Amino acid sequence: MLCPGSKGRHWGADGLLLVAMTRAPAAIRTGGLPDLSALVRLLQSAGLPTEDLADVTALDLVVIENDGAIVGAIGLERFEKSALLRSLVVAPEHQRHGLGRRLVERLERDAHNSGIDRLVLLTETAERFFASLGYSVSDRQSVPDAVRRSAEFRTLCPVSAVCMTKSLSARPQERTMPDRPFNVLFLCTGNSARSLLAESLLNHWGQGRFRGYSAGSFPKGQVHPISIALLHKLGLPTEGLRSKSWDEFAGPGAPPIDFVFTVCDNAAGEVCPIWPSHPMTAHWGVEDPAAIEGTDDEKWAAFRKALRDLEPRIKSFVNLPIANLDKMTLQSRLIDIGKSIPDRASAG
């Protein structure tokens, strides 16, 4: 399986540095038999195996399109209550923008809604990627016999291909709610504007039930001055705000993170560290106010807009009945919040 790499530090399965595209395609849909040939072409262009697809009699597909062309796909092979997640691929020129993550999350939601309670996969190159999405390494003998008899299990070598699984059936009573505030990490590339605004907003609206943090994949090392000025003007908390690396939250002594939200497309497409606490994740994209060039008034307007885009999402999040939602329903709600159209009420 091929998954997105991280700018400057992670490499694709073909050994080439992944190339950024100018804009991420947004059209994701359920695929069908006519899309199978496009999936095969994508896999072949990525140097991934396709021979075992000839023996598959039924395959659910989810695809992502850009300008009418399929640029990413993932398949699901069903075996009663279990299913084999397979053939995840994103065209090289469209990698590093979170498309692989979006495909997996959509497929998980569809599988859960149709009664699948366990996903199984084999990967030779993407163990780290799937671990960041909550998959755990499992012994091949622990998966159902029907899955082990699949063409993919018969053809991929046990020495090189890692078996991973994820349960989709966790109910609220099976999950232990923390006896502390929920820790929420907001990620962007520079950690100088959007993610810091989100951290402050959550610490304001969370009312002690949530604790906000922020970090960047390539932190700038300083907070944008308009970020601090706007928060001060609105009476929002600024104590402890600083630009820092996301590695601070992946090592020993870091607070256990319950939720991770990316607020820029670049961070959504990079391979995050493996968070020890296996948090739930979603993408809440916001335009970068720090990238605006113009007058001071225009820059301030951009920061106000970013705050307006973030605030209703954070309000919706803190009002979710987290204790009463099963894991897949909660994941679906988090994704929907990221897709919501913000309320355009004034911010300062």
Vertex 77, ends 106 and 58: CA angle to 5°?
110
pLDDT band at 273 (very low <50, low <70, confident <90, very high): confident
- pTM of the entire predicted model: 0.60
| Residue 21 placed within a domain | no
Within a 10 A sphere around the Cβ of 274, how many other Cβ atoms? 12
Structure-token pair, residue 127: 């163990």
Strands (E) in the chain, as ranges, are 27-30, 60-66, 69-79, 82-90, 118-123, 136-137, 162-167, 182-188, 210-216, 259-262, 280-283
**191 and 162 housed in the same domain:** no
**86 and 193 housed in the same domain:** no
**201 and 333 housed in the same domain:** yes
**Strand pairing partners for 64?**
28, 72
Catalytic position from the list 3, 157, 163, 188: 188
Q: Which CATH number covers residue 154?
A: 3.40.630.30
**187 and 165 housed in the same domain:** no
pLDDT band at 266 (very low <50, low <70, confident <90, very high): low
Task: Tell how strand 182-188 and strand 162-167 pair up.
Answer: unpaired
| Residue 156 placed within a domain | yes
| Residue 222 placed within a domain | yes
pLDDT at res. 62: 93
Last residue of a domain, one of 112, 141, 169: 169
Vertex 312, ends 237 and 177: CA angle to 5°?
75
| Residue 174 placed within a domain | no
| Residue 177 placed within a domain | no
| Residue 134 placed within a domain | yes
pLDDT digits (tens, 9 = 90+) for 243-254: 999 999 988 889
Residue 57 belongs to domain spanning? 27-169
Last residue of a domain, one of 169, 202, 222: 169
3-class DSSP state of 292: coil
3-class DSSP state of 127: helix
pLDDT at res. 72: 92
**227 and 324 housed in the same domain:** yes
Structure-token pair, residue 83: 């299913």
- Measure the CA–CA gap between 315 and 328, rounded to whole angstroms: 20
pLDDT at res. 159: 76
Active site residue 157: no
Contact 104, 4 (CB under 8 A): no
| Residue 19 placed within a domain | no
pLDDT at res. 337: 94
Active site residue 188: yes
Does 10 score more than 90 pLDDT? no
Higher confidence at residue 101 or residue 24?
Answer: 101
Tell me what percent of the chain is helix, strand and coil, each rounded to the nearest 5. Answer: 35, 20, 45
Does 189 score more than 70 pLDDT? yes
| Residue 218 placed within a domain | yes
Active site residue 272: yes
**207 and 290 housed in the same domain:** yes
Report the number of distinct structural domains present in the chain. Answer: 2
**80 and 203 housed in the same domain:** no
Q: Which CATH number covers residue 227?
A: 3.40.50.2300
- Measure the CA–CA gap between 318 and 203, rounded to whole angstroms: 10
**191 and 46 housed in the same domain:** no
Does 115 score more than 80 pLDDT? yes
The overall average pLDDT reported for the chain is 83
Does 258 score more than 50 pLDDT? yes
Task: Determine the residue type at 113.
Answer: N
Among residues of the chain, what percentage have pLDDT more than 70? 84
**165 and 308 housed in the same domain:** no
pLDDT band at 290 (very low <50, low <70, confident <90, very high): very high
Higher confidence at residue 297 or residue 50?
Answer: 297
Distances from the Cα of 304 to the Cαs of 153, 264, 307, 347, in angstroms? 52, 16, 5, 6
The mean-pLDDT minimum among 4-13, 121-130, 246-255, 339-348 falls in 4-13
Last residue of a domain, one of 169, 192, 223: 169
Question: Left (φ > 0), alpha (ψ -120 to 50) or beta: where does 78 sit?
Answer: beta
pLDDT at res. 178: 73
3-class DSSP state of 271: coil
**193 and 157 housed in the same domain:** no
**33 and 159 housed in the same domain:** yes
**241 and 99 housed in the same domain:** no
